[in-house]
Amino acid sequence: MQVSIACNVGGGGGASDHQMKERRVAMNTSNAPTCQSKVRVESSNRHTLLGHAHMKEALGRHSNMKYRNLGKSGLRVSCLGLGTWVTFGSQISDEMAESVMTVAYDSGVNLFDTAEVYASGRAETTLGNILKKKGWRRSSYVVTTKIYWGGQAETERGLSRKHIIEGLRGSLSRLQLDYVDIVFANRSDINAPMEEVVRAMTFVIDQGMAMYWGTSRWNAVEIMEAYSVARQFNLVPPVCEQAEYHYFQRDKVELHLPELYHKIGVGAMTWSPLACGLLTGKYNEGVPESSRAAMKGSVWLKERLSSDEGKKQLSKIKELHLLADRLKCTAAQLAIAWCLRSEGVSSVLLGVSNTEQLLENLGSIRVLTQLTPPLIAEMDALLGNRPRNGKKEARRS
C-alpha cells in the first residue's frame, strides 16, 4: 500500500479543549507542515529538531520503574501496565484486586487498562471502586478503556458515533471518573465509516471525556486510514495500537508497527506477554487445575496446548527456561523483558491474579539490561520465527 505521508506536526492529544482548538487553527493556517529535518533556534539558542521524538526512557523518582512516551505523544506511561482482563470482577476477589493495584501503584505502575466488555462491565466497576477508595491523585495515573462490545442490542456494540459516545459514558459511570486518559476502539468495524469513527473519537476528546484515543487489534492499513482521515478533516489521530505480542506472535509489532511509529507517531501497547501463561512453563507437564486453561470458557486454550503447533511451542519454552536459568531470572521475567526490548513498544500490559505474580513480573525490568544483541540473536535462532521484511530483503538482492 502506498500512502502519501504528511510530516508529523506536534504531539498527541491530552491538551485542554481551548488548546486543542488553537492547535487545529494553527495547523490550518500553514500550508507547509514542519518536517523532521527542520531546526528551530529558540531564544535560549538551543537547537530543537521538530517533529522528531525518540521514545525517551527514564527511571521513576521513587521506584525502579521505567517510563516511556506513548508513541510520539507527550504522555508518559510506565513501561509495565496492569491489565484487568479475566482477573478483575471475575477470576480474583475484589480484595485481591485492590492488593494487586496497591502494589502496582506503589511500585511505579501508572497505567491501568480495562474495557467495557471485561466481565460484562464488572472489571470497570471494580477498578473504579478501588481508585475511589485509594484516593490517589487523578493526575498521577493513566486509565484506559476500550469500546466495541457494550451490550446485546444492535446499537450497543460497534464503532458508530452513538455507541462510542454512549459506551464511553457508561464506562465513565462504572469507573466513577470524569474522563479516561485513552479510549481505544476495541477492534475495527466494517459497518462504521472511518470518518464517523474519527469524528466521534475527536468529539469525546473535545468534550473532555478522554485525553487521547487509540486502536486495538487494527491492522496497519486501517490505522493509516484513520490517520489520513484525521489529517484531511483536521481531527485527532490515534496515538497508540494495542496488540498481542509474545514469542509466538511477532509480525505485527516487529514489522508493521515500527513503520507506523516512525511515519505517524503511533506507539504500541502490547498484551499477553506470557501467551495466557504458556510461556511460564506451567503447562509443560499438563493443565493444572487452578490455571487459566482449566477455567470455563478456555477450551480454545486447551485445544491450542494439545495441537501439534502447541507441542512444538512447549518444547521451545523448555529451552528458553534453560536460558532464563543462565540469566538468573524466571521464564516469565525473560519473556516480558523480551517484549520490552522491542522498538516502539511504549508499555507491556500484565495480567496477574496475585501480588506474588505481579512482583515477579515487575522484576523483568532488571532483566532488560541483560538482553544484549548476541543474546537476542540466540533467542531468535531458538524460536526460529524472526519476522522478515520482504521490502528490505528485495532491496538487498
* SS3 labels along the chain: CCCCCCCCCCCCCCCCHHHHHHHHHHHHCCCCCCCCCCEEECCCCCEEECCCCCCCEEECCCCCCEEEECCCCCCEEECEEEECCCHHHHHCCHHHHHHHHHHHHHCCCCEEECCCCHHHHHHHHHHHHHHHHHCCCHHHCEEEEEECECCCCHHHECCCHHHHHHHHHHHHHHHCCCCEEEEEECCCCCCCCHHHHHHHHHHHHHCCCEEEEEEECCCHHHHHHHHHHHHHCCCCCCCEEEEECECCECHHHHHHHHHHHHHHCCEEEEECCCCCCHHHCCCCCCCCCCCHHHCCCCHHHHHHHHCHHHHHHHHHHHHHHHHHHHCCCCHHHHHHHHHHCCCCEEEEEECCCCHHHHHHHHCHHHHHCCCCHHHHHHHHHHHCCCCCCHHHHHHHC
Q: How far is CA 169 from CA 174, 204, 210, 334, in A?
A: 9, 9, 10, 39
Q: How far is CA 391 from CA 263, 266, 357, in A?
A: 16, 21, 41
Residue 190 is placed in which grid cell? 466494517
Q: Which of 67, 105, 118, 261 is catalytic?
A: 118
For the question of residue 118 being annotated catalytic, the response is yes
Residues marked active site are found at 118
